[in-house]
Amino acid sequence: MNGLATAAGHEDRHGPLKNYCRGLLLPGERKSIEPMAARLNPASVQSTRQSLHHLVAKAPWSDEALLAHVRNQVLPAMRKHGPVAAWIVDDTGFPKKGTHSVGVARQYCGQVGKQDNCRVAVSLSVATWGGSLPIAYRLYLPKEWAEDGGRRKETEVPKEVHFQTKPEIALDQIRAAVAAKVDRGVVLADAAYGINTEFRDGLTELGLPYVVGVQSTMTVWEPGKQPLPAKPRGRTGRPPRLLQRTANHQPVSVKQLAMSLPSSAFREIAWREAGERKLRSRFAAVRVRAAHRDYEQAEPHGEEWLLIEWPRGEAEPTKYWVSTLPSTTKLKALIKLAKHRWIIERDYEELKQELGLGHFEGRNWRGFHHHATLCIAAYGFLVAERNRFSPSTRAGHLGFIAPGPAAEFRPRGSPGPSRAA
């Protein structure tokens, strides 16, 4: 906590920051400012609330600096049980009513599994085989928000923030991690990122291998095939450079390729134990080349893995991944990495359920990010302790004790006590 307080800068922030993190770690169903203030200091709720609110919604400390401190404290504890295996890109949604909170729009929300009014944040996590930690976190600002000067001003969106797609935000986070010399891992992401050619190319330019989900409609060249070379040079003009396709020489979708494979190409493989059972399914992997707009290029895309999951009993494959891991990579190793993305789901579950990641009630940009940064800091403490003592330690069950609020305390906006008849 002393290190975190120092990373937050001015000495006046040290006490409130320690209190805020303590409030996040202590028991309590609601981790918004006022209920935390009531638990932390029952005798002086309003003054405690004001200091917590100022720390999160107003104080101009750097989220990046504090997250870097958390990373430097927690990663050594994680690495005691094994090296960094992966960098995991993901996003998470927070259902939200109204239209005034920064970033709120009708968009896909993973928490409810459909389009809904919500905010969405993009994150980058570093993972070993036993644990993971978010090291970057940023709100996705929809285009209608990014181009609305009035709403930007009202919610204090920084001038330098402009519209970016989620893959663009993720690439910026990854570039920052590379610049900070974070231990490298294989980049994992779902199909919302993996289907984006610029995202995949950006990872390759950074020298980072990946295993990313793709949609069944992605087009590839079948094993051993690639686009045709450029046309022969004519008598005049510049020599043709662009690759070609013909009516009889076309790429196929990954679904078409998967359906054309013989059943012998698929093997049943278990990749992880879940309680008393092993998770297993049928997989095949072949070497392909992506075909996206390669007719605008002079060189074909590089060869990479296409991993296909086709569970027994299903009418067609259910998941697809592409990967730039070496051609010598074993099928089970490829599957283990592709499936390791699940660990981020555990992080988000604990961050939301145990530490109140989605409980911040303010509307401004700074408050949204400061609250998330302190939630990640508190989670980092739990991750470090879990690695130090026992893998079975669970967030939120470490025996912390907090005084309850005063009997007469009523959060703002709550109904008052019922009147006697």
Residue-by-residue pLDDT tens, the chain, 421 positions: 777 777 777 778 888 999 999 999 999 889 999 999 999 999 999 999 999 999 999 999 999 999 999 999 999 999 998 999 999 999 999 999 888 999 999 998 888 888 899 999 999 999 999 899 999 999 999 999 999 999 999 999 999 999 999 999 999 999 999 999 999 999 999 999 999 999 999 999 999 999 999 999 999 999 999 998 888 776 666 777 788 899 999 999 999 999 999 999 999 999 987 777 889 999 999 999 999 988 888 889 999 999 999 999 999 999 999 999 999 999 999 999 999 999 999 899 999 999 999 999 999 999 999 999 999 999 999 999 888 765 554 444 444 455 555 565 555 555 555 444 3
CA 413 centroid distance within chain: 33
Cα 170 vs. chain centroid, distance in angstroms? 8
Tell me whether residue 179 is in a domain.
Answer: yes
Q: Are 146 and 282 found together in one domain?
A: no
Domain annotation covers residue 240: no
Distance CA 406, CA 45 (A): 9
**Among candidate residues 25, 62, 60, 211, the one with its CA nearest the CA of residue 136:** 62
Phi/psi-derived region of residue 9, left when phi > 0, alpha when psi is between -120 and 50, beta in every other case: left
Q: How do 186-189 and 86-95 pair as beta strands? A: parallel
One domain, residues 312 and 179? no
- The pair of structure tokens assigned to 17 is 């920051």
- Quick one: pLDDT at residue 232? 79
- The count of structural domains within the chain is 2
Is 336 inside a domain boundary? no
Q: Rounded to whole angstroms, how far apart are CA atoms 95 and 352? A: 12
Q: Which helix (H) or strand (E) holds 102?
A: none
pLDDT at 98: 85
Cβ-proximal residues to 144 (8 Å cutoff; 6+ apart), any chain: 105
Does one domain contain both 138 and 33? yes
Q: Where are the beta strands (DSSP E) in 340-390?
A: none
Q: Which of 395, 417, 210 is nearest to 302 (CA)?
A: 210
Q: 163 and 61, same structural domain?
A: yes
Please indicate, yes or no, if residue 273 is contained in any of the structural domains.
yes
> What's the CA gap between 185 and 82, in Å, rounded?
12
Please list the residues that pair with 134 across neighbouring strands. 125
Q: Find, among 90, 78, 43, the residue nearest to 340 by Cα.
A: 90
At residue 418, the pLDDT reads 44
Contact 385, 395 (CB under 8 A): no
Domain shared by 130 and 6, yes or no:
yes
Residues 64 and 187 in one domain: yes
User: Crossing angle of helices 14-25/45-53, nearest 10°?
Assistant: 110
In whole angstroms, give the CA distance from residue 288 to residue 285. Answer: 10
Q: Which of 191, 89, 68, 94 is nearest to 132 (CA)?
A: 89
The size of the chain, in residues, is: 421
b/e map of 202-225 (b: 16 or more CB within 10 Å)?
A: bbeeeebbbbbbbebebbbbbeeb
Q: Clarify whether residues 183 and 261 are in a common domain.
A: no
- The reply to whether 197 and 216 lie within a common domain is no
Same domain, 60 and 160: yes
pTM given for the model: 0.88
Residues 266, 310: one domain? yes
Question: Could you give the CA distance from residue 298 to residue 309 in angstroms, rounded to a whole number?
Answer: 33
Within-domain flag for 230: no
Instruction: Flag whether 406 is in a domain.
Output: no
Residue 170, domain member (yes or no): yes
**CA separation, residue 301 to residues 241, 286, 355, 398 (Å):** 15, 15, 44, 51
Provide Rg for the chain, Cα atoms: 25
Q: Verify that 177 and 256 share a domain, yes or no.
A: no
CA distances, 277 to each of 141, 142, 166, 270, 274 (Å): 41, 42, 35, 10, 5
Residue 188 lies in a domain: yes
Structural domain boundaries enclosing 271: 210-225+250-323
Instruction: Tell me the sheet residues that pair with 208.
Output: none
Are residues 298 and 380 both part of a single domain? no
